[in-house]
Amino acid sequence: MNATPTPILVVDDEADLRSLLVEAFQDSGHEAVSAASGAQALELVKARHFPVVFTDLNMPGMSGLELIKELHAVDPRSFPILMTGFATTEAAIEALKRGAYDFITKPFKFAEIEASLGRALSHYQALRENEAYQQDLEARVEARTKETVKLKDDIERLFEGFVDASVAAIEARDPTTSGHSHRVALLTVGLAEAVNTTEGGAWGTFRLSERQMRELRYASLLHDFGKVGVREQVLVKAKKLDEPRVEVLLQRLHQRGLELEVEALLQAWREGRPFDSTILEGMKADSRAEALRLIALVQQSNEPSVLPKEAAEELVHLDGMDFQHWSGHRKPLVDPHDLAALRIPKGSLTDEERREVESHVTHTFRFLEKIPWTDELGGVPAIAYAHHERLNGRGYPRKLTSDAIPAQSKMMAISDVFDALAASDRPYKVAVPVGKALDILNEEAKAGLMDPDLFRIFVEAKVYERTTQK
């Protein structure tokens, strides 16, 4: 006997047959319920689920075939079994077409009913088990999908944190350019979005997908990461000589002025000239004026702005000057390395230091290529690697020309230069007005350094306002 009796519905307009079947099913351990008509049966089916429904074919009102059709609409999981005393092949075929599970001919033996019921319940049980398996499988898939989505979200958050930490590391090495990486990312993605909406022209058919936009954003955020491999004193060098070196040089110039005063006084005594305070003050004033002139020359030359031609010519005279060292020996007033730095025509970096700063691009690429990027972000290293290349081959580090430079790198180049010009966070220069920065970029586009069509979109779409509007 089943632990939980299976509910079976018997539908027949003959009361004796209904009672007989109900009693037999109950004796077999099932829960049996009867209905005298199709309409009554439907009401019962709407109220509860019956795995198996035995129904007569010919009944007043609603026939068995009509009931089967209605059963499938109300409870498609029920297994209808049709009983009839007017069995024909056509009737059987029609019953099966309508959805009957089995077809039994009256008069029948209860053993036939039991066999049909057994087959129906076995099939029913198999379907329910399959449904349960499907539901369990779907639940597992849903749970695993949620886990996968959560893991993906966690990984993305982790990677975003890694990128933020990397940018923070860059800015910790060079606090004066704080915010540069985020601004370049904002400008570059903004330019790419503007290109995506451009119709016609050189970039009219170029489009970046959402995935490529994300790739471009990461490349822009990490484009300067290689600066961690550049010496800090070079990276943040605001002037040609740092303060201690300048102080030493200025002190030597001051000392040289005093030495000239003493030498002039001694020369007067050797010549036997009498003491004259007016002459002495004049000599002191001359030596002091010469010292101050040279001090002003060094201070002017130490600035990273363009070195005037007159100052460059005057610096040559420092090369032959010396001073009295504490050891008693005469030594050169200016160290050759310091003099070479003061002669830098523009900026604060020597050629060697400039090459070191430019090496940050290669450091960036070598760092980024070690990251196991997904296929969606695999282009990040190459995009960042080319952001200092120029269309005419005058960029660095590989001297690439236009055809070899990724389109995304061309966009980043414009954003990078604009922010370097317009931002107020560079120690070696003052920020230029937005209009002036755009004029400089325009000249670079005309000179074949920047893409002129991309620059036009940058200006027309007012991409620059993303970082310049307060």
Residue 140 forms part of a structural domain: no
Shared domain for 314 and 381, answered yes or no, is no
Per-residue pLDDT tens over the stretch 107-161: 888 899 999 999 999 999 999 899 999 999 999 999 999 999 999 889 889 888 9
Q: Are residues 406 and 319 in the same domain?
A: no
Pair 107, 179 in one domain: no
Q: Is residue 399 part of a domain?
A: yes
Show which of 283, 313, 348 is a domain's final residue. 348
Is 116 a domain residue? yes
Question: Does one domain contain both 323 and 208?
Answer: no
Any idea what the CATH number is for the domain that residue 179 is in?
A: 1.10.3210.10
| Amino acid 2: pLDDT | 47
- How many degrees, rounded to 5, is the angle at CA 233 between CA 232 and CA 239? 135
Q: What is the mean pLDDT of residues 350-377?
A: 92
52 and 124 co-located in one domain: yes
User: How many angstroms separate the Cα of 238 from the Cα of each of 303, 439, 444?
Assistant: 8, 25, 25
Once rounded to an integer, what is the mean pLDDT over residues 310-335?
Answer: 88
Answer whether residue 165 is part of any domain. no
User: Is 430 part of a structural domain of the chain?
Assistant: yes
Query: Is there a single domain that holds both residue 221 and residue 369?
Result: yes
Do 25 and 73 reside in the same domain of the chain? yes
Residue 252 has pLDDT above 60, yes or no: yes
Give the domain range for residue 382. 174-227+356-468
Range among 160-174, 212-226, 265-279, 339-353 rated most confident: 212-226
362 and 313 part of one domain: no
Q: Are residues 250 and 218 in the same domain?
A: no
Mean pLDDT across 167-183: 83
- Helix (H) / strand (E) containing 8: strand 7-11
Give the CATH number, domain containing residue 29.
3.40.50.2300
Give mean pLDDT, residues 226-254: 88
Of the candidates 326, 348, 370, which is a domain's last residue? 348
Say how many domains are in the chain: 3
Q: What is the pLDDT at residue 470?
A: 55
Q: Is residue 137 part of a domain?
A: no
Q: What is the pLDDT confidence band of residue 427, given thresholds at 50, 70 and 90?
A: low
pLDDT of residue 461: 96
38-47, 334-343, 415-424, 428-437: segment of lowest average pLDDT? 428-437
Are 324 and 381 found together in one domain?
Answer: no
Q: Do residues 443 and 297 share a domain?
A: no
Which pLDDT band, with edges at 50, 70 and 90, does 451 fall under? very high
Of residues 195, 191, 66, 50, the one with CA closest to residue 121: 50
For residues 81 and 23, state if they share a domain.
yes
The verdict on residue 403 lying in a domain is yes
Answer with the one of 77, 98, 131 that is the final residue of a domain: 131
Q: Is residue 179's pLDDT more than 90?
A: no
Asked, for residue 342, whether it belongs to a domain, the answer is yes
8 A C-beta contact, residue 103 and residue 56: no
User: Is residue 220 over pLDDT 80?
Assistant: yes
At residue 3 the predicted structure's pLDDT band, cuts being 50, 70 and 90, is: low
Three-state secondary structure call for residue 79: strand
Across the range 265-290, mean pLDDT stands at 80
Of 282-291, 316-325, 347-356, the range with the lowest mean pLDDT is 282-291
